[in-house]
Structure 1
Amino acid sequence: MPNYTTYKPHNEISTIVRRQLMLPADSSLIHRDADLPGLAVLLNVDAFAAALQVELPEINIQSIRSTYVRYKRGTNCLVAYELNVAGTKVPIYAKAFGANSWNKLQKYRNEISVPGSLGVGRLILAAYGIAVCFFPNDRDLKQLPQLVDQQTRKHLLHKMSATDLYETQLLNLRYKPERRYVGQLRTDTNIQAVVKAYTTEDYLQAKTNAQAFHSGTVLHIAPTLGYSDGDRLLAFEWISRLPLHEAIAQPQFNYDAVTLTGAALAEVHAQNPANLNVLSRNAEAQSLLSMAADLSFICPPIADLAQNLAKQFAQELRSLPQLTYPIHGDFNAEQVLLGENNVTFLDFDRAVRSDPAADLGSFIARLEHDKLRGNLSLYRLERIKEALLQSYPTSFLYNRIELYTAIALFRLACEPFRYREPNWHEKTAAILQQVETILQPLSTPQSA
């Protein structure tokens, strides 16, 4: 669960329901990154809420929780929060800057904003080098205010050729500030569509990927309902089906659903879509080395293990031939919806041309992660792996599935910190130890 603190009116912190204390790992990080003074405020929800309450004394912040962190040492740190004000959940985010923070804060201050649900659009905490944005104001997702407002949303839907969605309401589903927004368009009785808002940097490839794949025998792709290049928006048909990750969590589970998923994944890998980016072996290796450097700074006790694992990954990857199969790029059970005779795959934003073993490894790594969290038994994990590979032709993959399982699990090591989980440093170490366990029996991969 994210960090959570409850407040009394007039900025008096309740000693009865106060739950969050600064973790030693957070305190250590703050001490080591002296170039980012606002970090001490953002990583402590007590301190951030107090600073916010001073600037907005008329607002009674009943509770606050941090939900997401994006951190670049010495440069900036973005933290998303959810406020509870008068029983209403209010999403906001704050970004702290290091050197030249005055210039960067000025850019936020000069941005055109609309009043959020609390009546304020942006707030500058100059003493800490922090800019605060109240939803729907977003530095890089400038289309959000128009999307959230019902009247201007109709204009956007018209530009997207989605006029049949005029009378829908918008419900927030997922929001990563300055990255991507996902909302649900629905009436009082029906869910009709999903709308996604992208940054300028990410939109064109996301649009290309969304239109690159087609449905097959057991594979179903959610249709694109419309788009607006100028507003960087995509709309998709809402598919009312049971997500695979929810089915897996049920006491009684039919493993045939996973076998069907493996067959559908094989259909993805057999297609020949145009204009997908190629992910090189060297780029994969370099990203893992960079991630190890970040993990080492955030959590020094695991530095040696993280760097050794990344070096081993880099060596293994660079020894393999380049493959250019179309892959999903972020494949896991949350991206799969179950039908009677087919399965729907969602969210091809990260689709590239690369090694198909990466998708299989990504799927299995999420199961390993669930097992570490106590949400999945070893028996069920092994049964799911067996069912997934039963319908997928794996003979040409050799032991690269295990390699990519370890790689994908390694990439998940940043999630406990990113999503502000209690004792995130211990969970990060546990993930890396499991990565090491998966890697131990692997021999040098054979050529594909």
Structure 2
Amino acid sequence: MNAPPSGFSNPDRSLASRDAALPGLPWLLDNARLSELLGETVRVTRVRYKPGTSLLVAFRRLRNGNFEYGWAYTLAEPAAKLLRRESKSRSRGGNMRVLRPDPLHADMLVAVGGVEDDWALHPNLVWLREHGAERLGLKPRAAASLLAGSSVLRYKPERRLVLLAHQASTAVVIKTAAKPAGTGQQTHFLERLQRHGVPLLPQLGDAECLEHGISACIAWGGGDLAGLDDDSSAFTAGEALARLHGVPAPDWHAAGVTAQLQATRNMVSSLLPALEDTARRIEAELGSLLPDGSGSGPVLVHGDFSPDQVLVGDSEVRLIDFDRARAGSAEADLGSFAAAEETVLRASGGPSAGGPKTVGLTEGYRRAGGRFTQSGVDAWAAFRLFNGSVDPFRDRSPDWAEDTAWHLRRAKELIP
């Protein structure tokens, strides 16, 4: 049996040994060491790493029978930034604290806090509690204890917090972002989609909520397509996607393919140097393939389409999360969906991207008049697989090095 590539046997330790600028990495990447530092059992659920600069992690802990979330942050010089934040947090009644994990390195600091202490989210969370919750239809009592009385569905430190809030028999999904809502979340844009028959969820709140990064809707359906074995719903989702692509394309675009490929290659190289050459080859091949307009002409695309962006209720579906909507090729959405399905299946390895749900999706898409090329779908699936190759590290998969290598192998196989 061949030995694993260098850095694969203990990738976290290997990474920490290479980044001398961030001596706090070993504490934040290891559940046991972070638990020891905090004095309670925690599990890291998400990381955001900037080589040589900073590491920010989200962690989960069990308190009073419920899961609570928090964050930990370490950065290179100047460490005084963390001390200033700690002082300001205390002045407003927060619980952020700065720890020194290693007595022999007093300048190595780790800041920790709860969701309510999140530096970027704090202003909008305060506004949500004091003003926004009532605008969403929640009663004052529910608004006052919003964080304590809600379940956290997703938390990405300094980016967004998604809550499931309950009031009587109604459940409301509330997303709080650090930045104001983008074009894809604006009321006029969503109303435009509805006029073209795209199945959406009615949005709660108003323009001021969106300005404070708050968007919300009533919880709907029995789950998303990612968690359901439902080929008929995949077919219906394909019809809905065709209607979305039938909306006249806007004149706004996302970040260029070249920039996204370069960012991914840089991160793969930092995380697993043994895969740098592979990443460079895939970057070059996709970079020469996709900017030429591979696939069909520009349409309005979802921008992050996957099975978990499709809610299912009986025989109906709803498409959600249009934060990344833009002009692009239809194959970008179809390939994104196929790649997301492959990431779950891992056993496909076929000549074309995707699995059973992708087959249902494309059949429904064709039936509703959608057009695409299979080579374009495969190319965009390779693009998503490549860019998603760093997600196992960010999501703290126990086997993230092997998972990253799989993403790259499969991306390479799908490049036409």
- Give the shorter-chain TM-score range: 0.7 to 0.9
Letter in 2 for 1:186: H
Deviation at residue 47 of structure 1 after TM alignment = 2.4
Deviation at residue 104 of structure 1 after TM alignment = 4.6
Instruction: Calculate the aligned-residue CA RMSD, in Å.
Output: 2.9
Deviation at residue 377 of structure 1 after TM alignment = 10
CA deviation map 1:274-319 (0-9, x unaligned): 6x73136xx1122112111111110112111111111111111233
Distance 1:155 1:74, change over 3 A: same
Query: 8 Å contact 1:98–1:129 — kept in the other structure?
Result: no
Question: How many pairs align?
Answer: 389
Query: 8 Å contact 1:195–1:236 — kept in the other structure?
Result: yes
Q: Distance in 2 between matches of 1:237 and 1:86?
A: 27
Deviation at residue 113 of structure 1 after TM alignment = 6.7
Q: Distance in 2 between matches of 1:74 and 1:408?
A: 26
Deviation at residue 384 of structure 1 after TM alignment = 2.6
Q: Which residue of 421, 439, 442 maps to 2:397?
A: 421
Aligned to 2:345: 371
Structure 2: tracts of 5 or more residues without a match: 1-7, 101-105, 143-148
Q: Which residue of 162, 165, 172 maps to 2:152?
A: 172
Q: Distance in 2 between matches of 1:333 and 1:81?
A: 26
Aligned to 1:39: 25
Q: Distance in 1 between matches of 2:83 and 2:46?
A: 21
Query: 8 Å contact 1:121–1:135 — kept in the other structure?
Result: no
Q: How does 1:221-236 map to 2 (within 5 A)?
A: 221-227=200-206, 228-229=209-210, 231-236=212-217
Query: 8 Å contact 2:138–2:167 — kept in the other structure?
Result: no
Aligned to 1:199: 178
Give SS of 2:396's match: coil
Distance 1:211 1:170, change over 3 A: farther
Q: Which residue of 310, 320, 327 maps to 2:293?
A: 320
TM-score, length-scaled by structure 1: 0.78
Q: How does 1:49-198 map to 2 (within 5 A)?
A: 49-53=35-39, 61=40, 63-85=41-63, 87-111=65-89, 121-126=95-100, 127=106, 128-143=108-123, 145-146=125-126, 153=129, 155-158=131-134, 160=135, 162-163=136-137, 166=140, 168=142, 169-191=149-171, 193-198=172-177
Q: Distance in 1 between matches of 2:399 and 2:289?
A: 32
Matched, 1:263 2:239: yes
Distance 1:381 1:232, change over 3 A: closer
Distance 1:85 1:384, change over 3 A: closer
Distance 1:414 1:257, change over 3 A: same
Deviation at residue 195 of structure 1 after TM alignment = 1.2
Q: Distance in 1 between matches of 2:224 and 2:28?
A: 34
Deviation at residue 155 of structure 1 after TM alignment = 3.2
Letter in 1 for 2:194: S
Aligned to 1:247: 228
Q: Distance in 1 between matches of 2:280 and 2:396?
A: 23
Structure 1 window deviating more from structure 2 (309-318 vs 210-219): it is 210-219
Q: Distance in 2 between matches of 1:272 and 1:108?
A: 49
Give SS of 1:203's match: coil
Letter in 2 for 1:279: A
Distance 1:209 1:401, change over 3 A: farther
Deviation at residue 337 of structure 1 after TM alignment = 1.6
Letter in 2 for 1:100: P
Q: Which residue of 279, 283, 292 maps to 2:265?
A: 292
Deviation at residue 166 of structure 1 after TM alignment = 4.6
- 4+ long deviations beyond 6 Å: 376-380
Q: Distance in 1 between matches of 2:198 and 2:411?
A: 31
Structure 1: tracts of 5 or more residues without a match: 1-21, 54-60, 443-448
Query: 8 Å contact 1:285–1:317 — kept in the other structure?
Result: no
Query: 8 Å contact 1:138–1:144 — kept in the other structure?
Result: no
Q: Distance in 2 between matches of 1:423 and 1:246?
A: 22
Matched, 1:26 2:12: yes
Query: 8 Å contact 2:331–2:380 — kept in the other structure?
Result: yes
Give SS of 2:186's match: helix
Structure 1 window deviating more from structure 2 (130-139 vs 84-93): it is 84-93
Distance 1:210 1:438, change over 3 A: farther
Query: 8 Å contact 1:364–1:385 — kept in the other structure?
Result: yes
TM-score, length-scaled by structure 2: 0.84
Distance 1:338 1:49, change over 3 A: closer
Give SS of 1:279's match: coil
Deviation at residue 114 of structure 1 after TM alignment = 6.1
Deviation at residue 260 of structure 1 after TM alignment = 1.2
Aligned to 2:103: none
Q: Which residue of 266, 270, 275 maps to 1:302?
A: 275
Query: 8 Å contact 1:323–1:353 — kept in the other structure?
Result: no
Deviation at residue 83 of structure 1 after TM alignment = 2.2
